[in-house]
């Protein structure tokens, strides 16, 4: 099975908070990343977290890491229509990236 | 300049054609990557170049041939492709490949259609 798992779809109303979840299996992962991909575009790094941190906040984005459960989440506050995209979590451990399948976030007015 | 550029943006080719995809970065990154991405799927790693040398080939068919002419450029030469090779081809770069922090900067991709 996949080393990084995500739920595939999330629908959220404009102005609400979105929470995207991710689980990973490689306990040696040192960094975990969240990338955003809009239709027809490449991947844009949103944020990352080092494995010895529990939380990282960057403006509307909050990343939570539960290293014991190997669970990563991304919270987007005050979700806007421009946040509609596919969000990939990824882990890296001295080399290759392992991406999750991606969560499609649809923001409705 | 924190940009990775890719040309062309779109490419349509027949199964007997030979074409090349190009990627360029001027961030001084020493690692460059080619990924293949099918619709609604995550990127799949194809090749990694580190210091202009091929470090990883993920068992990619020989009809895909990468080339790294210098530290800023990465090419992907295509020959005798199959329709199932139609996908978005993404180039990325990072400071280095084997470091613990490996933020990869992605280009916008080339949308390839094989007829």
Give Cβ neighbours of residue B90 (< 8 Å, ≥ 6 apart). A42, A43, B6, B34, B35, B36, B37, B43, B106, B107, B109
Strand order in the sheet with A71-76: A4-6, A18-24, A71-76, A61-66, A55-58
Look at A33 and B90 and tell me if their CB atoms are within 8 Å. no
Residues A2-28 as b/e (b if ≥16 CB within 10 A, e otherwise) read eebbbeeebebeeeeebebbbbbeeee
Q: Which of B42, B56, B99 minimises the CB distance to A102?
A: B42
- Kindly list the averaged pLDDT for each block of 10 residues, start to end, along chain B of length 115: 89 94 95 94 93 92 96 96 96 82 89 96
Question: Rounded CA gap, A52 and A66, in Å?
Answer: 10
Backbone φ and ψ of A45, nearest 5°: -70, 125
Among chain A residues, the shortest Cα distance to B88 is held by A40
Please say whether the beta carbons of B83 and B115 come within 8 A.
yes
Contacts of B100 in chain A (CB under 8 A): 30-31, 92, 94
What confidence tens digit (pLDDT) does each residue in A60-84 have? 999 999 999 999 999 999 999 999 9
Q: Which of B34, B42, B108, B110 to mutate to test the interface with A (most CBs of A within 10 A)?
A: B42
Per-residue pLDDT band for A95 (boundaries 50, 70, 90) equals: low
Look at A95 and B43 and tell me if their CB atoms are within 8 Å. no
Look at B106 and A31 and tell me if their CB atoms are within 8 Å. no
Question: Rounded CA gap, B73 and B24, in Å?
Answer: 5
pLDDT of B2: 66
Q: Which of B42, B101, B108 minimises the CB distance to A41?
A: B108
Look at A101 and B42 and tell me if their CB atoms are within 8 Å. yes
pLDDT of B100: 66
Q: Is-cis flag, bond preceding B16, omega within 30?
A: no
Give Cβ neighbours of residue B100 (< 8 Å, ≥ 6 apart). A30, A31, A92, A94
Please say whether the beta carbons of B49 and B55 come within 8 A.
yes
**What percent of chain B lies above the pLDDT cut of 90?**
82
């Amino acid at each position: 099975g996949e080393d990084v798992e995500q739920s595939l779809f999330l629908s959220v109303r404009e102005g609400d908070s979105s929470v995207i979840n991710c689980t990973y299996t490689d306990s040696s992962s040192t960094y975990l990343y969240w990338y955003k991909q809009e239709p027809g575009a490449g991947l844009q790094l949103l944020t990352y977290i080092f494995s010895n941190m529990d939380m990282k906040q960057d403006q509307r984005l909050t990343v939570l890491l539960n290293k014991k459960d190997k669970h990563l989440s991304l919270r987007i506050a005050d979700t806007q229509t421009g946040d509609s995209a596919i969000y990939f979590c990824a882990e890296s451990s001295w080399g290759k990236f392992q991406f999750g399948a991606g969560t499609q976030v649809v923001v409705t007015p | 300049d924190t940009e990775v550029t890719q040309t062309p943006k779109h490419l349509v080719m027949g199964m007997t054609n030979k074409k090349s995809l190009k990627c360029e970065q001027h961030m001084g990154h020493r690692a460059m990557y080619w990924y293949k991405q099918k619709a609604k799927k995550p990127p799949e790693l194809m090749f990694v170049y580190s210091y202009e040398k091929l470090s990883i080939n993920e068992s990619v068919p020989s009809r895909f041939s990468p080339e790294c002419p210098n530290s800023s450029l990465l090419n992907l030469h295509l020959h005798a492709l199959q329709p199932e090779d139609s996908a978005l081809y993404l180039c990325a770069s990072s400071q280095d490949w084997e470091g613990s922090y490996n933020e990869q900067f992605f280009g916008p991709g080339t949308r390839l259609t094989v007829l």
